[in-house]
Structure 1
Amino acid sequence: MTETVTKTSIEKATLFERLGGTEGIAQLVDDVVENHMKNPAIKVRFLPYKDQPERLAKIKQHTVDFFSAGSGGSAIYTGRDMPATHRGMNISASEYMHAMDDIMLALDSHEIDEESKKEVLAILWSLKESIMAK
């Protein structure tokens, strides 16, 4: 009986709610950025932000707003679109996969359910073309 109630509750909740709302997404973003800074394949892109705390905070807030708005929350994303944000970075397929792995690792560390992880993965795949090699 409990399993059915839990499954029904998950199905009715938005992805935003299942990720813990704004606070949960903010914690996930913090962990994802930390994972990126430790990942040998992509850390060179992220480590310079350690010396730019205001810029890093702004990037994190934009990321929280972007993902909150796109997952059913009430946040309004006011940042640039994905192609404009990533223009000139020439992000490779390998780097994109490493970034996705870091995101999934953060979701695992927060014990996010499998269905929610699948939804996040689908969102990441949908953004791939607008981010890579721009």
Structure 2
Amino acid sequence: MSETNTTTASTLYDRLGRRDGIARIARELIKNHLANPLVKTRFAQIQDMDQTERNVTDFFCVGSGGPGSYAGKDMLNTHRGMNISEQEFVSVLDDAMAALETCGVEAPVRHEVLGVLWSMKAEVVRV
């Protein structure tokens, strides 16, 4: 199999760097959220940031085709009652794209992740 076919056939999990790469992305993402004036107060309230980081990592690992399991809440139940605005949602997506870029994820893969995250909008915004 040629290199191109191998890359094409790999899962998003593989393209994100498997568990280690996704854990780096999760750490960077949370760091970005805590520095983001639009959403930092929501994240600063989190009591157990290590558990949140593990949940984000597990969520992305499983959701991107990797092994393991995710024991956290689903997107709708996580965000229900938070009254998240469209502006906050887009700002969080910007944080995610910046985290991916900082972690060296190539543009086509960043776009793929953006599509996945955008598809969750109805489970996050104003629920």
What TM-score does the superposition give when structure 2 sets the normalisation length?
0.92
Q: Structure 2 unaligned runs (5+)?
A: none
Query: Partner residue of 2:95?
Result: 102
5 Å-filtered alignment, 1:25-104, equals: 25-49=22-46, 52=47, 55-104=48-97
Q: List, as ranges, runs of 4+ consecutive aligned residues in structure 1 with deviation greater than 6 Å.
A: none
Could you give the per-residue CA deviations for residues 107-128 of structure 1, whole angstroms, max 9, x where no partner exists? 1111211221111011101111
Paired with 2:65 and 2:96, the residues of 1 have a C-alpha distance of 19
| Identity value in percent | 38
Query: Partner residue of 2:119?
Result: 126
What TM-score does the superposition give when structure 1 sets the normalisation length?
0.88
Paired with 1:31 and 1:113, the residues of 2 have a C-alpha distance of 16
Measured on the aligned residues, the alpha-carbon RMSD in Å equals 1.3
Max Rg structure: 1
| 1:20 and 2:17 matched | yes
Q: Structure 1 unaligned runs (5+)?
A: none
